[in-house]
Structure 1
Amino acid sequence: MSNQNQPRHAPPDHPPVPQQKIGVVLLNLGTPDATDYLSVRRYLKEFLSDPRVIETNKLVWWPILNGVILSFRPQKSGHAYAQIWDKERNESPLRVITRAQTEKLAERMAEDGVVVDFAMRYGNPSTKSVLDRMQQQGCQKILLVPLYPQYSATTTATANDKAFDALQTMRWQPAVRTAPAYFEDPKYIQVLGDSIRDGVAALPFEPDVVITSYHGMPVEYLKRGDPYHCQCYKTTRLVREYLDWPKEKLMVTFQSRFGPTQWLEPYTDVTLEELPKNGVKKVAILAPAFSADCIETLEEIAMQGKETFMEAGGEEFAYIPCLNDSPAGMDMIEAMVRRELGGWL
């Protein structure tokens, strides 16, 4: 019996499949949306609830976090953010600079048809929202670029974790690559070294010492296998060799410690307090662990650090900015991205 006259079932309606594209997502730490108590509290709660950042047992940590810390710290942090807030754009410098990096990289990659965006591990724009948008734009190959030169589970790993969490919700997952840490990348060392040499040359004084201040980390994390500490020291050593400076001219310290546990030493604030007592009266300082200036560099180092040093008897203090969206900084990011897109472009 023929089925020729029987009705056929039409395929279900579905949205058209967009043309396949390649996407690049610049990942950074995050920022509150405003400086008020609730905005900062919301940001700090997400940040300090991350088990990659605080590895203390939740049963111990959560009462402390939701009790003492989130009751008092948002007001203090909000005041600090207010000191450096971009009032014209009503955003933190971190978001302003990361957006500028994204826009400039997008211009450089436009002829290759690459879609470039940025996301924050904590706060907005969220990693999930950016990956969802990229998928809707047809990006079936996505490169994740954590903007942390030195690897740490507290930064690089948790930024990637958030992206992987978003991928779990997608029925049609894109192919994904993650860019590695670039602490010893020759281009990064060259650009960082040049920024230090040029920054020092532009000063009205000759610093007795230049400090490379890296974000700190509990010593216990190092003991558990985190390579961050070693990579920080290697970055500074390679830069010192590139500049052909004596060992005593460029030193390493660690900043931003939090809580009563032992963190990586030497501490930046203690060092700035001790140097004038040892006859070091003129310093320049930079923060190589940060790809963009933020509260830890503009408020903690450039403002608080200067105050600590000068009150201790220092005479001259200068902060050398991060690479940010400078032409050389963008050259470095573009070179890294193009290398990691090898075989896709």
Structure 2
Amino acid sequence: MNAPTLTQDAKALGSKAPGPLPAGHPVLKQPKVGVLLINLGTPDGTDYKSMWRYLREFLSDPRVIEMPRVAWYPILYGMVLTTRPQKTGKNYQLIWNREKDESPLRTYTRGQSEKLAAALADLPNVVVEWGMRYGNPSTASAVDALTAQGCSRIVVLPLYPQYSATTTATANDQFFRKLMTMRDQPSIRSIPAYYDEPVYIDALAASMERHLKTLDFEPEVVLASYHGIPKAYFEKGDPYHCHCLKTTRLLRERLGWDETRLISTFQSRFGAQEWLQPYTDKTVERLAKEGVKSIAIINPGFSADCIETLEEIDGEVREIFLHAGGKNFAHIPCLNDSPEGMAVIEALVRRELFGWA
């Protein structure tokens, strides 16, 4: 006996087409799909109060500082938040986007969101928003904006190529904290780290090659400088170190370079404990003292230029290299909202939208 088909089942239920809806009957709209870009965060200004608020939120995150609160909070509220806001504010002033009165990270993340929305114009039920893990616009406000526009499904892209509990995990944590307050939660997909995605490696290579052609010198060594994490986090199982090294290896292979031309280093350490090595500042100092006169630095772990790339690398580290005897220094910009950078973001988002949009 043949199994009934869907058509036969439908006939058994009655094949009459539905009539018009009665007056006043609610009509369900096509559900929308939200795309949420999440970046690290930014202070609202360079003044003491703005920096204090931002640093308090950032340095209170147990994913960032894995110390018991009873031991860390006296240090945070006693010494760190007393002295660091003023110093950090001065550093932000050096790179502040004065035209828009905001940090470059906010400018670039907004640009990524706007350009992604334009690129996805062929998907009319997709809405794009952006938010920060720390500071404004908050992750919660971005979720509110998406749900207010009728998004019952949300694709989340933490803008960190390499996974770490201090970045990707805490961004997802914050997103889920918002969901915990909602009675009618959207369905969600979180895009994984993309440290070895071919589109990402190709974008880094193309960006590097284009920028190096604009220089009036050829770097003897290029450093791929990643934000560091305490060595203890790596020993507890954080895969970040492995992701960084793989990105460098794939980029080196893509460029056809050897291990002495492109090397991995780690920057932005904080506190007295040991962090991932080799340290970027110590490495450039050593290279200069060994006679290397020309270097360039790229930051593959940052999706957009920020205080760590513009002030720390292109400012402090540049000065260290030149003071130690180096002659030529170049900072290769992050992918930001460049065509290469947007190709990465669009490719990742379109893949995760499959079946939804």
Same fold by TM (over 0.5)?
A: yes
* Matched position secondary structure for 1:27: strand
- 1:160 — aligned with what? 172
Q: Which moved more, 1:16-25 or 1:112-121?
A: 16-25
* Matched position secondary structure for 1:253: strand
C-alpha separation between the residues in 1 aligned to 2:145 and 2:29? 12
Whether 1:43 and 2:54 are equivalent positions in the alignment is: yes
Whether 1:323 and 2:339 are equivalent positions in the alignment is: no
Pick closer, same or farther for the CA change 1:260–1:17 going to 2, 3 Å.
Answer: farther
C-alpha separation between the residues in 2 aligned to 1:135 and 1:214? 35
C-alpha separation between the residues in 2 aligned to 1:284 and 1:303? 13
Write out per-residue CA displacement over residues 197-252 of structure 1, whole angstroms, 9 at most, x where no aligned residue.
22212210010100000000000000000000010000000000001111100001
Whether 1:230 and 2:236 are equivalent positions in the alignment is: no
Picking from 17, 20, 45, the partner of 2:31 is 20
| Bigger radius of gyration | 2
C-alpha separation between the residues in 2 aligned to 1:296 and 1:190? 23
Picking from 181, 186, 189, the partner of 2:193 is 181
Task: Give the drift of 1:111.
Answer: 2.0
- 1:333 — aligned with what? 345
User: Is the Cα–Cα contact under 8 Å of residues 30 and 122 in structure 1 kept in the other structure?
Assistant: yes
- Deviating 4+ runs (over 4 angstroms): 15-19
Task: For 2:341, give the aligned amino acid.
Answer: G
C-alpha separation between the residues in 1 aligned to 2:159 and 2:68? 28
- 2:23 — aligned with what? none
Q: What number of residue pairs does the alignment pair up?
A: 331
Normalised TM-score (structure 1)? 0.94
C-alpha separation between the residues in 1 aligned to 2:134 and 2:197? 27
Task: Give the drift of 1:259.
Answer: 0.2
User: Is the Cα–Cα contact under 8 Å of residues 222 and 262 in structure 2 kept in the other structure?
Assistant: yes
Q: Which moved more, 1:77-86 or 1:107-116?
A: 107-116
Percent of paired sites with the same residue: 60
Whether 1:303 and 2:350 are equivalent positions in the alignment is: no
* Matched position secondary structure for 1:247: coil
Pick closer, same or farther for the CA change 1:79–1:18 going to 2, 3 Å.
Answer: farther
* Matched position secondary structure for 1:24: strand
Picking from 204, 207, 210, the partner of 2:222 is 210
User: Is the Cα–Cα contact under 8 Å of residues 291 and 322 in structure 1 kept in the other structure?
Assistant: yes
Task: For 1:283, give the aligned amino acid.
Answer: I
C-alpha separation between the residues in 1 aligned to 2:204 and 2:295? 18
User: Is the Cα–Cα contact under 8 Å of residues 286 and 321 in structure 1 kept in the other structure?
Assistant: yes
Whether 1:269 and 2:294 are equivalent positions in the alignment is: no
C-alpha separation between the residues in 2 aligned to 1:24 and 1:306? 37
User: Is the Cα–Cα contact under 8 Å of residues 214 and 287 in structure 1 kept in the other structure?
Assistant: yes
- 1:3 — aligned with what? none
User: Is the Cα–Cα contact under 8 Å of residues 214 and 232 in structure 1 kept in the other structure?
Assistant: yes
Q: Which moved more, 1:23-32 or 1:104-113?
A: 104-113
Task: For 1:255, give the aligned amino acid.
Answer: Q
User: Is the Cα–Cα contact under 8 Å of residues 233 and 252 in structure 1 kept in the other structure?
Assistant: yes
Write out per-residue CA displacement over residues 153-179 of structure 1, whole angstroms, 9 at most, x where no aligned residue.
000000000000000111110000000
Whether 1:147 and 2:123 are equivalent positions in the alignment is: no
Task: For 1:210, give the aligned amino acid.
Answer: V
- 1:9 — aligned with what? none
Task: Give the drift of 1:332.
Answer: 1.3
- 1:79 — aligned with what? 90
Picking from 77, 101, 109, the partner of 1:90 is 101
Pick closer, same or farther for the CA change 1:111–1:282 going to 2, 3 Å.
Answer: same
Task: For 2:116, give the aligned amino acid.
Answer: L
User: Is the Cα–Cα contact under 8 Å of residues 26 and 117 in structure 1 kept in the other structure?
Assistant: yes
Task: For 1:150, give the aligned amino acid.
Answer: Q
User: Is the Cα–Cα contact under 8 Å of residues 20 and 140 in structure 1 kept in the other structure?
Assistant: yes
User: Is the Cα–Cα contact under 8 Å of residues 33 and 153 in structure 2 kept in the other structure?
Assistant: yes
* Matched position secondary structure for 1:54: coil
C-alpha separation between the residues in 2 aligned to 1:136 and 1:85? 32
- 1:190 — aligned with what? 202
User: Is the Cα–Cα contact under 8 Å of residues 149 and 181 in structure 1 kept in the other structure?
Assistant: yes
User: Is the Cα–Cα contact under 8 Å of residues 292 and 324 in structure 1 kept in the other structure?
Assistant: yes
- 1:52 — aligned with what? 63
* Matched position secondary structure for 1:234: helix
C-alpha separation between the residues in 1 aligned to 2:328 and 2:142? 44
User: Is the Cα–Cα contact under 8 Å of residues 18 and 137 in structure 1 kept in the other structure?
Assistant: no
User: Is the Cα–Cα contact under 8 Å of residues 288 and 324 in structure 2 kept in the other structure?
Assistant: yes
Task: For 2:121, give the aligned amino acid.
Answer: A
Write out per-residue CA displacement over residues 111-156 of structure 1, whole angstroms, 9 at most, x where no aligned residue.
2021001000000001111101211110001000000000000000
* Matched position secondary structure for 1:291: coil
Write out per-residue CA displacement over residues 295-342 of structure 1, whole angstroms, 9 at most, x where no aligned residue.
000000001111110000000000000000111111111011101111
User: Is the Cα–Cα contact under 8 Å of residues 17 and 138 in structure 1 kept in the other structure?
Assistant: no
Write out per-residue CA displacement over residues 59-109 of structure 1, whole angstroms, 9 at most, x where no aligned residue.
100000000000000000000000000001000000000000100000011
C-alpha separation between the residues in 2 aligned to 1:203 and 1:287? 18
